Amino acid sequence: MAPGGQTAAAQQSGTAVSNAGMPLSVTWLDSLRIDSSAVERRAATLVARRTVKKEWQVAWLLRAISCMDLTTLSGDDTEQRVLRLCAKARRPLSEEVRAALGLGDLRVQAAAVCVYHRFVAAARRALEGSGVRVAAVSSGFPAGLSPFAERLAEIRNSVAEGADEIDVVITRAHVLEGRWQALYEEVAAFKDACAGRHCKVILSTGELGTLRNVARTSLVAMMAGADFIKTSTGKESVNATLPVGLVMLRTLRDYCARTGEVVGFKPAGGIRSAKQALEWLLLIREELGTAWLSGERFRFGASGMLTDIERQLAYHGSGRYAAVHRQPLV
């Protein structure tokens, strides 16, 4: 049995595994050091030296779709918009593109649909039997500044409505003021309120100040039981970047090596093109290995990216780029 109670087979299979967490280790936090120049250089050279072409690119883009959380988190969201997004998650590629690629009966669908709490029940009904999960943003998304009791109640309500996953936001001030115990207790309370559903902890990395803070926040969230660590809400001025992703992935890798616990990763915000999707998949493969190239361990928090992926797949199948309006998202 591997440390943390998980078998080696479970760690390699790509199946969903809940992170049991561990006691807060301030000594481990204090030992973290980040060479920002080296991180930026590694992130830049990685995507420059790796390319995916032709039929291999088709396979990678199909994998990207299977790792997507199709998301609508706008103030003007309606139930009809959510239902259209759910239909797209169930069948993200048009029949024309599927035929051109010769996919036959191959099942291609998104991993989850991510919505505000009030739309969880509607999404649950629309996705019933599909295998596509329902994710709810809770705990005072996106700022995380509402009263703590209300944040916990929102999580519990989303669970009661049928959400499979809960995307929670941390109190950024805990990080900026070095209150690691408070952050640990906050995330642990969120995890408990999730009642066995996957707890995806949004770090809002663009508001944490330094890459060292990103690493330490990632580690505290995992110690407290986060099943996924997620870069951003998508509402910050700076969202998912490859250097930030690299820091989070290496912290995740170290945590897994020390504890045996498997934690997922979700970049979100600003990822809009097929090229960016390939860059993130390459980063995951290089840093964590192929076991993480699965919707059980890796997610894109993106929706607009699907339009460009479908256009690229249409080109591979027919030799022509389809107009954007031919692949409406909602």
Residues tagged active-site = 167, 230, 266
Question: 86 and 77 in contact (C-beta within 8 Å)?
Answer: no
DSSP 76-91: T--HHHHHHHHHHHHS
- If we measure between CA atoms, which residue out of 34, 22, 20, 5 comes closest to residue 220? 22
* Tally of CB atoms within 10 A around 325: 7
What is the separation of C-alpha 11 from the centre of its chain, rounded to a whole number of angstroms? 19
To the nearest 10 degrees (0 to 180), the angle between helices 211-223 and 180-193 is 50
Output Rg (C-alpha) for the chain, integer angstroms: 19
The number of residues making up the chain comes to 330
List strand residue ranges (DSSP E) for 147-306, in order. 165-169, 198-202, 228-230, 264-266, 300-301
Neighbouring C-alpha atoms within 13 Å toward the C-beta of 189: 17
Question: What are the backbone angles phi and psi of residue 255, rounded to the nearest 5°?
Answer: -65, -45
Q: Where are the alpha helices (DSSP H) in 162-235?
A: 172-176, 180-193, 211-223
Strand order from edge to edge, sheet including 165-169? 264-266, 228-230, 198-202, 165-169, 133-138, 112-116, 68-71, 300-301
Question: What are the backbone angles phi and psi of residue 166, rounded to the nearest 5°?
Answer: -125, 120
The residue type of 265 is F
Strand 198-202 versus strand 300-301 pairing type: unpaired
Eight-state DSSP code of residue 298: B
Question: 141 and 169 in contact (C-beta within 8 Å)?
Answer: yes
* Tally of CB atoms within 10 A around 130: 16
